[in-house]
């Protein structure tokens, strides 16, 4: 291996840390997990629930269906099912096992227990505090920075648990060393035995929900709409499968997915197109594994400078990652992957996130198509050049520009979107 081999173990750890299972959209699931954790420290039933949430959490929970609630949407439903039926030991699969009796109990809880939602003015986009009031006092839990990162737990005002890194939004594993060159080097030389369990689970989970989405009616059925076209191209198929997974997930499908950068939509977008492409082209399994390393790590690399939640649509990064993975499947080297990335990211970096909902599936289809167009441009000797908009010389410099655009430049955009959607800013 090259000089990048010193980061070999870090890349493996990043994959294992990021590619984890979650059932349901991760923002309502984070609320359910926070609520379940708060309930776990209560000595008696709660009489009132207070949910404080940052604008991005409110935005992403407002319109998405919470699994295992018989079709309920919103913050109140997410908190309530976490309290009534959540298993905090399962973290982002906290409500994966909800019985029929618990679903009935959920109805009664929502009718009998006041749930107050407050806008939390926080500098951290992903920030949740849930307080359960009981006859024995109040119990509070705060999650911030990432969807399962508990930073403190309190009984009344007394700390019973505290993470000393509570104000950090940084990932648990340092990712500052990541580069496109290092990612490709890792993908080429990686001992696949160390990552096969992680990648096999991603293939199994994410393809299962994609197929399920095509077989059933969910959301706006974007996947089915695409498959109904008189278009038998592989491009149309990979768009349809990726979109169908989101159709199902945004509308409460109870199948788990493997997430990427805290997002199921990003996890599906980064993986499903690569898997479908490899199957259609009859690529060998090891080449598929290595292509998934490229797609997943490129997605993570692009997302690190942006943050978990922002006004910048996360599936843009994942669509670009998928295109880079497909480029690798087709024999593309570092030069080809870097040009694919820059071409693709230049096209769709203005796509905004206006919350988790049915239209996410359509954005996924658009992101995948833009990614593949970026690859086709490279194949035809075309590229967007230094000085054209946000594109600058060097793939890492362009990635830094995207980070600045998304994290700093779009802050006001984010506030306007949240105001339009919720009136809470």
278 and 319 co-located in one domain: yes
Q: Are strands 115-119 and 46-53 parallel, antiparallel or unpaired?
A: parallel
Is the pLDDT at 69 greater than 60, yes or no? yes
How much is the pLDDT for 167? 52
354 and 208 co-located in one domain: yes
Express each pLDDT in 134-144 by its tens digit.
998 899 999 99
301 and 383 co-located in one domain: yes
282 and 372 co-located in one domain: yes
In a domain, 354, yes or no: yes
Is the pLDDT at 103 greater than 90, yes or no? yes
CATH of the domain at 54: 3.30.1330
pTM of this structure = 0.91
How much is the pLDDT for 170? 44
Count of beta carbons in the 10 Å neighbourhood of residue 300: 26
CA distance linking residue 364 with residue 370, whole number of Å: 10
Is the pLDDT at 123 greater than 90, yes or no? no
Express each pLDDT in 360-374 by its tens digit.
999 999 999 999 999
Residue after which a domain boundary falls, among 141, 162, 183 = 162
Q: pLDDT category, 150, cuts 50, 70, 90?
A: very high
DSSP string, 225-253: HHHTSS---HHHHHHHHHHHHHHHHHTT-
The tokens for 265 are: 């939509």
Q: Which percentage of the chain shows pLDDT scores above 90? A: 76
Phi–psi pair at 94, nearest 5 degrees: -55, -35
Rg of the chain over Cα atoms, rounded to whole angstroms, equals 21
122 and 243 co-located in one domain: no
Is the pLDDT at 336 greater than 90, yes or no? yes
Over residues 220-237, the mean pLDDT reads 96
153 and 221 co-located in one domain: no
CA angle 282, 284, 288 (to 5 degrees): 100
147 and 280 co-located in one domain: no
CATH of the domain at 373: 1.10.4100.10
Residue-averaged pLDDT of the chain:
92
In a domain, 360, yes or no: yes
In a domain, 14, yes or no: no
Contact 371, 339 (CB under 8 A): no
Over residues 208-224, the mean pLDDT reads 97
In a domain, 230, yes or no: yes
Q: Are strands 257-258 and 21-22 parallel, antiparallel or unpaired?
A: antiparallel
198 and 316 co-located in one domain: yes
266 and 330 co-located in one domain: yes
Helices 8-18 and 285-304 pack at an angle, to 10 degrees, of: 80
How much is the pLDDT for 414? 82
Express each pLDDT in 272-323 by its tens digit.
999 999 999 999 999 999 999 999 999 999 998 888 788 888 899 999 999 9
List the domain range (segments joined by +) for residue 50: 26-162
340 and 202 co-located in one domain: yes
Q: pLDDT category, 348, cuts 50, 70, 90?
A: confident
CA angle 355, 390, 313 (to 5 degrees): 10
Q: Which percentage of the chain shows pLDDT scores above 70? A: 96
Phi–psi pair at 127, nearest 5 degrees: -150, 125
Residue after which a domain boundary falls, among 131, 162, 193 = 162
The tokens for 84 are: 């009534």
How much is the pLDDT for 415? 84
Contact 130, 113 (CB under 8 A): no
What is the length of the chain?
425
CA distance linking residue 414 with residue 15, whole number of Å: 29
CA distance linking residue 332 with residue 342, whole number of Å: 15
285 and 406 co-located in one domain: yes
141 and 187 co-located in one domain: no
Residue after which a domain boundary falls, among 112, 137, 162 = 162
Over residues 228-239, the mean pLDDT reads 95
Count of beta carbons in the 10 Å neighbourhood of residue 100: 8
In a domain, 19, yes or no: no
CA distance linking residue 392 with residue 219, whole number of Å: 39
Is the pLDDT at 258 greater than 90, yes or no? yes
Is the pLDDT at 107 greater than 60, yes or no? yes
Express each pLDDT in 165-177 by its tens digit.
655 454 456 778 9
In a domain, 71, yes or no: yes
How much is the pLDDT for 143? 96
Q: Is 283 helix (H, G, I), strand (E, B) or coil?
A: coil
In a domain, 187, yes or no: yes
Strand partners, 132: 49, 139
In a domain, 386, yes or no: yes
Over residues 242-267, the mean pLDDT reads 95
Indicate the number of domains in the chain: 2
């Amino acid at each position: 291996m090259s000089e990048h081999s010193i980061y070999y173990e870090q890349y493996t750890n990043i994959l294992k840390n990021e590619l984890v299972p979650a059932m349901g959209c991760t923002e309502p699931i984070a609320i359910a997990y926070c609520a379940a954790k708060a309930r776990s420290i209560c000595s008696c039933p709660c009489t009132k629930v207070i949910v404080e949430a940052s604008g991005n959490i409110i935005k992403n929970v407002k319109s998405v269906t919470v699994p295992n609630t018989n079709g309920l949407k919103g913050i109140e439903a997410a908190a309530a099912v976490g309290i009534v039926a959540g298993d905090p030991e399962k973290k982002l699969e906290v409500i994966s096992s909800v019985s029929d009796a618990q679903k009935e109990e959920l109805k009664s809880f929502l009718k009998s227990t006041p749930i107050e939602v407050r806008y939390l003015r926080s500098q951290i986009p992903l920030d949740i505090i849930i307080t359960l009031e009981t006859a024995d006092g109040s119990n509070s839990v705060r999650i911030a920075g990432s969807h399962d990162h508990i930073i403190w737990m309190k009984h009344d005002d007394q700390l019973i648990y505290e993470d000393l890194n509570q104000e950090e939004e940084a990932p648990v594993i340092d990712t500052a060393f990541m580069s496109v060159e290092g990612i490709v080097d890792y993908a080429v030389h990686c001992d696949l035995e160390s990552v096969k369990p992680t990648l096999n689970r991603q293939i199994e989970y994410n393809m299962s929900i994609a197929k399920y989405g095509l077989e059933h009616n969910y959301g706006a059925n974007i996947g089915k709409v695409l498959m109904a076209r008189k278009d038998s191209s592989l491009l149309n198929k990979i768009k349809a499968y990726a979109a169908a997974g989101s159709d199902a997930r945004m509308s409460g499908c109870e199948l788990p997915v493997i997430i990427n950068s805290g997002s199921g939509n990003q996890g599906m977008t980064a993986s499903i197109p690569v898997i479908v492409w490899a199957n259609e082209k009859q690529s060998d399994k090891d080449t598929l594994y290595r292509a998934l390393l490229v797609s997943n790590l490129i997605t993570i690399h692009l997302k690190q400078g942006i943050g978990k939640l922002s006004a910048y649509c996360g599936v843009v990064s994942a669509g670009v990652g998928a295109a880079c993975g497909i480029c690798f499947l087709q024999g593309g080297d570092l030069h080809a992957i870097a040009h694919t990335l820059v071409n693709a990211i230049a096209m769709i970096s203005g796509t905004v996130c206006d919350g988790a909902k049915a239209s996410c599936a359509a954005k996924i289809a658009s992101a995948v198509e833009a990614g593949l167009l970026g690859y086709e441009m490279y194949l035809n000797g075309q590229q967007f050049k230094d000085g054209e908009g946000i594109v600058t010389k060097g793939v890492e410099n362009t990635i830094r520009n995207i980070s600045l655009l998304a994290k700093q430049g779009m802050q006001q955009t984010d506030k306007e979107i949240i105001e339009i959607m919720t009136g809470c800013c």
